Structure 1
Amino acid sequence: MPAPGGQKKGSGRKNENNKIYAHPLPLLLSVPEPSLRHKLCSFLGLNDRQVLNPHCQGVLDVPTRSVWVVDNKDAKILWTRGFFGKGDLSRSEPSWYARQVNARKAAGKYLTSEEIREKRRNERKQFKLDRARALAEAAAEAEAAFLEGREAALPAIPSGATWKPSQAPQGENPLASAPGEDDAEEEEELEPLEDAEHLQLTLQEAFFLAWGLDCLTILDPTTHESMTLEQIWSAFQSVHSPTTISLTPTVTIPEVERRFDNPFLVNYAVYHHYRSLGWVVKSGIKFCVDLLLYKRGPVFHHAEFALVVIPVYENPADKISSPFALMNSEPFTWSWLSTINRVNSQVQKTLILTYVTIPSSARVPPHLLASPACLPHYSVREVVLRRFIPARMRD
């Protein structure tokens, strides 16, 4: 059973992280200066703070179904204020540039994590070779001693607990004894390092920032002009269109292709539901689920809840006529459910089945799909699953 608030991470940088990630959203409230107007507003119970909008910018990328934030300043704002997106060259936080800088500093001075891994692999290989050689020598010595009628003097057989490499393993580059003037000259000859990483936002994150918070401007990838909310709404649905492989984002979707079971609408209804409740929502593909819920963010706690999004059609006829093959729309087997539940139980996450009810096209007017006005017609329900472990739950 996970601890309340999720499993805490190391607290070495707790105070520093509290300062860096102090703001839960990109929007900030200004701190008013002491003045007569401020005192009057305080006396009357009025709030005279102003909203500070960072106005970040991103570019829609249709093939990857995401929005790219290339500017480093905007990427830092979106990550540190709400943990939006992920680095395309990193596991989560866009840290590729920092890692490359550290790798350059490590050259000739100390081993990076990749070099340590390679060193251990070479040492294990060398140990196996030394042990095989010692076993062959021992067998030859025992056979010769038997034929000569004497006692065999067997060589020591290396063991994993006591073996030490007598020489540098194959493929290992010896480290420099100490950095000197040669190292400084080599650093000067290195080409300047450019940051090749960008922040990658999912369509759900991008629309939440553009529509819900109005702090993200999305550019058309062909014209590089700002897209209106109507164009963004149509483009994000067209990305999932099964009849179009490559569609210009500014093209308006025909009415026949506007459906309530569009994958973008189904996933955004879930994302907006949990984001509006204060959760940090991230992808859960690492744990075979759709989403992970964090109370504060990945740097503070591990995710406490793992979500599997299950779409449910209000009208079964809509499912028959649907051109979309929605994930988990078909009944799943107990073996699948047990597997997912066990995986997340091992990492102390509570599995939640999130049922999204897709409104019936016969009940809800189709013209609502032209705007986010259709979102209130979706409903989200949760079913919590816990894996029964007899050895742990007797008390």
Structure 2
Amino acid sequence: MELSGPRWKGKNCAQIANSKPMSEIIAQLQICLSNSESAALPIGTDFLLETVPELTDLLNRTSFGRQLKTSNDRKKCFQLSPEETFYLHHSLKCLKVSINNANLIDVNLWNYMRSRNELFPIYYRAYMHLRSKNWVVKLGTKNGVDYVVYRHHPALVHSEYAVIVDWKKEKGEKEGERLRVWSDLHCAIRACNGVAKAVLLLNVMGYEVTFSLPELLERTTVDEMQITRWLPSQCRDDCQLEGNNG
């Protein structure tokens, strides 16, 4: 199966997305959230943010978090993942995070995230890489991957990529820490092709980086690799191979 670009959900969805770029909506969210008095609070492994109508609308339009049902029509609550929380706090510098009635600075929140999940720096680096390119990033648990990404809001377009995050501990390693077994990769490709998604493998490269500070993320890079199934129809006898002059 070959993907033929974005699969819009309606006749005018592409036009709507083009008229309202995600980057512009996120810029509005930055301003609104920076001026807000609300602070995100930890709840389990995620964070809870109380919002007013304008902020509720912008979070929904940028597809950050998950809106929870409340009985208050004026104030709503959003559940944010650790990656979403730190991205809004550290990269966009617009979200306050409070623990034990104290607003946290970058390094304190970073250490808190790492204490909850030692692999948080790896997954956050991949998340940041995708969000910085204005992809909408959501958890990919239902598809057996780390993330699924959308060209614009999920209400307008289907997700295009199923993302698997991998990393290499040492320079020169041919294989990452995941997908060492061919059958694992094969299963991921078959599952994602079944729901019209391409597999995007993100390799986080940060040899000897301790991740003790969020600033050390700058010493890492992310390599992208799109993985698809080989189709016999792409290499038929009557098709001349590239570079074959005979």
Does TM, normalized by the shorter one, top 0.5?
yes
Whole-angstrom distance in 2 between the partners of 1:52 and 1:330: 39
AA at the equivalent of 1:295: R
Instruction: Please say if residues 312 and 358 of structure 1, whose CA atoms lie closer than 8 Å, have aligned partners that are also in contact.
Output: yes
**1:28 has 2:8 as partner:** no
**1:388 has 2:230 as partner:** yes
Alignment match, 2:243: none
AA at the equivalent of 1:344: C
SS of 1:301's partner is: coil
Alignment match, 1:311: 167
SS of 1:354's partner is: strand
Give runs of aligned pairs for residues 1-16 of structure 1, distance below 5 A. Answer: 1-4=2-5, 6-11=6-11
Whole-angstrom distance in 2 between the partners of 1:194 and 1:52: 24
Give runs of aligned pairs for residues 363-374 of structure 1, distance below 5 A. Answer: 369=212, 371-374=213-216
SS of 1:339's partner is: helix
Structure 1 residues not aligned, in runs of 5+: 30-50, 89-95, 98-192, 241-261, 317-327
Whole-angstrom distance in 2 between the partners of 1:283 and 1:382: 18
**1:375 has 2:238 as partner:** no
AA at the equivalent of 1:219: S
Alignment match, 2:103: 226
- Residues 75 and 20 (structure 1), Cα distance of their counterparts in 2 relative to 1, 3 Å cut: farther
AA at the equivalent of 2:216: C
Give runs of aligned pairs for residues 86-235 of structure 1, distance below 5 A. Answer: 86-88=66-68, 96=69, 193-194=71-72, 198-220=77-99, 222-223=100-101, 225-235=102-112
SS of 1:27's partner is: helix
Whole-angstrom distance in 2 between the partners of 1:269 and 1:13: 30
Alignment match, 1:349: 197
AA at the equivalent of 1:237: R
Whole-angstrom distance in 1 between the partners of 2:7 and 2:171: 41
Deviation of 1:290 (Å): 0.7
AA at the equivalent of 1:382: E
- Residues 388 and 309 (structure 1), Cα distance of their counterparts in 2 relative to 1, 3 Å cut: same
* Candidates 256, 279, 285, aligned match of 2:141: 285
What percentage of residue pairs aligned between the two structures are identical?
24
- Residues 202 and 214 (structure 1), Cα distance of their counterparts in 2 relative to 1, 3 Å cut: same
Whole-angstrom distance in 2 between the partners of 1:19 and 1:331: 40
Over residues 159-182 of structure 1, what are the superposed CA-to-partner deviations in whole Å (9 max), with x where a residue is unaligned? xxxxxxxxxxxxxxxxxxxxxxxx
- Residues 24 and 283 (structure 1), Cα distance of their counterparts in 2 relative to 1, 3 Å cut: farther
Alignment match, 1:160: none
SS of 1:207's partner is: helix
Deviation of 1:277 (Å): 2.0
- Pick the structure with greater CA Rg: 1
Alignment match, 1:238: 115
- Residues 303 and 393 (structure 1), Cα distance of their counterparts in 2 relative to 1, 3 Å cut: farther
* Candidates 46, 64, 70, aligned match of 1:66: 46
- Residues 230 and 334 (structure 1), Cα distance of their counterparts in 2 relative to 1, 3 Å cut: closer
TM-score by length of 1: 0.51
SS of 1:388's partner is: coil
- Residues 235 and 60 (structure 1), Cα distance of their counterparts in 2 relative to 1, 3 Å cut: farther
Deviation of 1:342 (Å): 0.9
Instruction: Please say if residues 39 and 97 of structure 2, whose CA atoms lie closer than 8 Å, have aligned partners that are also in contact.
Output: yes
Whole-angstrom distance in 1 between the partners of 2:22 and 2:226: 30
Structure 2 residues not aligned, in runs of 5+: 240-246
Deviation of 1:332 (Å): 3.3
Deviation of 1:215 (Å): 1.4
TM-score by length of 2: 0.78
AA at the equivalent of 1:26: I
Alignment match, 1:153: none
- Residues 226 and 347 (structure 1), Cα distance of their counterparts in 2 relative to 1, 3 Å cut: same
- Residues 312 and 25 (structure 1), Cα distance of their counterparts in 2 relative to 1, 3 Å cut: farther
Whole-angstrom distance in 1 between the partners of 2:13 and 2:133: 27
Task: Report the aligned-residue RMSD.
Answer: 3.2
SS of 2:33's partner is: coil
Deviation of 1:19 (Å): 7.4
Whole-angstrom distance in 2 between the partners of 1:384 and 1:14: 24
Larger strand share, 1 or 2:
2
